[in-house]
Amino acid sequence: MASLQHNLRLATEADLPAMTEVLNAASRQDPIYPYRFPDRHRYPSEFALLCRQKCTEYLASSTVVVCEMPSATDAGAMRVVAFAVWDTPASQHRVQAHTGSLEPLPSQQPSSLGVPITIGHKDRMDAFKSACVRYKATFFDAKYKRGHVMLRILLCHPDYQRRGAGKALTEWGIQEAQRLGLYTTVFASPMGLRLYTKLGFTEIGRFRVEVEGDEEHLEIPALVLSPSAGIWESGRKATCGMVTGAGYNGVSSTVCA
Ligand SMILES: CC(C)(COP(=O)(O)OP(=O)(O)OC[C@H]1O[C@@H](n2cnc3c(N)ncnc32)[C@H](O)[C@@H]1OP(=O)(O)O)[C@@H](O)C(=O)NCCC(=O)NCCS
């Protein structure tokens, strides 16, 4: 499908409902959610609340970029259809200084936002969390001592996929990493893997998330893109700054300040 007109900008708190909707709709396509929340269909309102809490935490602790596209239902209006959550060295240091890990700050823990989490497979959630912290340290932090720009999460609403939003959001972070002379890093889902590979990322390893005695597990690839890499597409090298317009430039200058 052809790429649609789109606009990238930094997220604000006003984007929380739209981000929540995107996370709620797209998360089922990323195995890390069905693995940790196998009962989410039975508790849709709790899961929606959890999505909102996660988005609140992203806004508080990371750099969130949203992608707007023309609404399919409201002619002439733009709507947030996708977002990316980036951790730069600055945001990572801020979180690590408080907790020693990449977990949310205590004040941003979902349970402290007013409603306790009542769904979720606790053992799998714990295994996932500790594996991510451990393998982030092994694959990325230990290797890139000057830091790296990590794509923490990328989601596009299913109704707007294959129109270029994911690519544009990923290129935004790649360009930011290249401006800082740092690697771009990500733990990929199966759908993300196709996108990142197309953009030139290299897989440097994989890790398993598993709980003893549990028949289900996750296998998660770790990918990196060198700061000196271009973006390769269909066998030709392209530049990163492919999105033009006020929104993109606005994001870039705000973050670079
Ligand atoms: C991964 C995701 C964000 C991609 O968003 P998107 O806006 O649909 O991606 P784009 O339209 O920018 O795709 C760019 C390219 O990536 C590749 N790609 C993306 N999705 C693909 C898919 N489902 N199958 C095959 N290739 C795919 C294609 O090469 C595509 O280019 P093309 O459409 O011209 O062939 C989206 O599929 C999603 O939200 N998935 C569920 C959540 C998830 O897994 N997120 C990634 C976490 S690491």
Ranges 144-148, 199-203, 225-229, 248-252: which has the least confidence: 248-252
Residue with the bigger pLDDT between 171 and 234: it is 171
Structural contact between residues 81 and 160, judged by C-beta atoms closer than 8 angstroms? yes
- Architecture per CATH, domain 7-256, reads as 3-Layer(aba) Sandwich (3.40)
> pTM of the predicted model, to two decimals?
0.85
Q: What are the C-alpha distances in Å from 34 to residues 4, 87, 248?
A: 30, 24, 33
pLDDT digits (tens, 9 = 90+) for 44-76: 999 999 999 999 999 999 999 999 999 988 888
- How far is residue 92's CA from residue 166's CA, in Å, rounded to a whole number? 23
**Where in the chain are the domains?**
7-256
**Strand 231-233 to strand 78-87: parallel, antiparallel, or no bridges (unpaired)?**
unpaired
Diameter of the chain measured on Cα atoms? 53
- The dihedral of CA 121, 118, 85, 197: what is its sign? positive
Ligand 1 centroid, distance to 153 Cα (angstroms):
13
pLDDT digits (tens, 9 = 90+) for 197-222: 999 999 999 999 999 999 999 999 99
161 lines ligand 1 (CB under 6 A): yes
195 lines ligand 1 (CB under 6 A): yes
Mutate to test the pocket of ligand 1, among 161, 187, 233 (most ligand atoms within 8 A of CB): 161
200 lines ligand 1 (CB under 6 A): no
Ligand 1 centroid, distance to 107 Cα (angstroms):
33
